[in-house]
Amino acid sequence: MLTLHYNPLTISAATAIILEELEVPYTPILVDFRESAQQSPAYLALNPKGRVPTLQTPQGVLTETGAILEYLAAQHGPHLIPAVPFQAARMRETMYYLASTVHVNYAHAMRGPRWADLESS
């Protein structure tokens, strides 16, 4: 059985979507940011990064979206990863671009106060 620690306002939604699409049974556990649950000792023991998603699997814990999505594809949807190495690399190229460039820019645009506290004109 899989357990997904998530917050619906984050990229962890991608993991929930693929679990639903692949019809993989899992237990969802909300990580409530209003309560700072991601910084609780119990959650940090599970994921020292204090981030979501965290996926508990029978083999252990996975914590990065790209790794989680590849694991789910390999375990439950091998048709999602191209068999030809170059095509598989192109798939990963797109996935990493979305995760490391598009997602980061989108996320930081809504978190300005984390990075600066001076108003500018």
* Residue 3 near residue 55, CB atoms below 8 Å: yes
25-42 pLDDT tens trace: 999 999 999 999 999 999
43-80 pLDDT tens trace: 999 999 999 999 999 999 999 998 999 999 999 988 88
pLDDT category, 90, cuts 50, 70, 90?
very high
End-to-end CA separation in angstroms for the chain? 52
pLDDT at 93 over 70: yes
C-alpha 15/C-alpha 106 separation (Å) is 18
What is the pLDDT, as a whole number, of residue 110? 61
Q: What is 90-115 written as a DSSP string?
A: HHHHHHHHIIIIIHHHHHHHT-HHHH
Residue 63 neighbours by CB distance under 10 Å: 17
pTM, entire model: 0.81
Residue 110 token pair: 């809504």
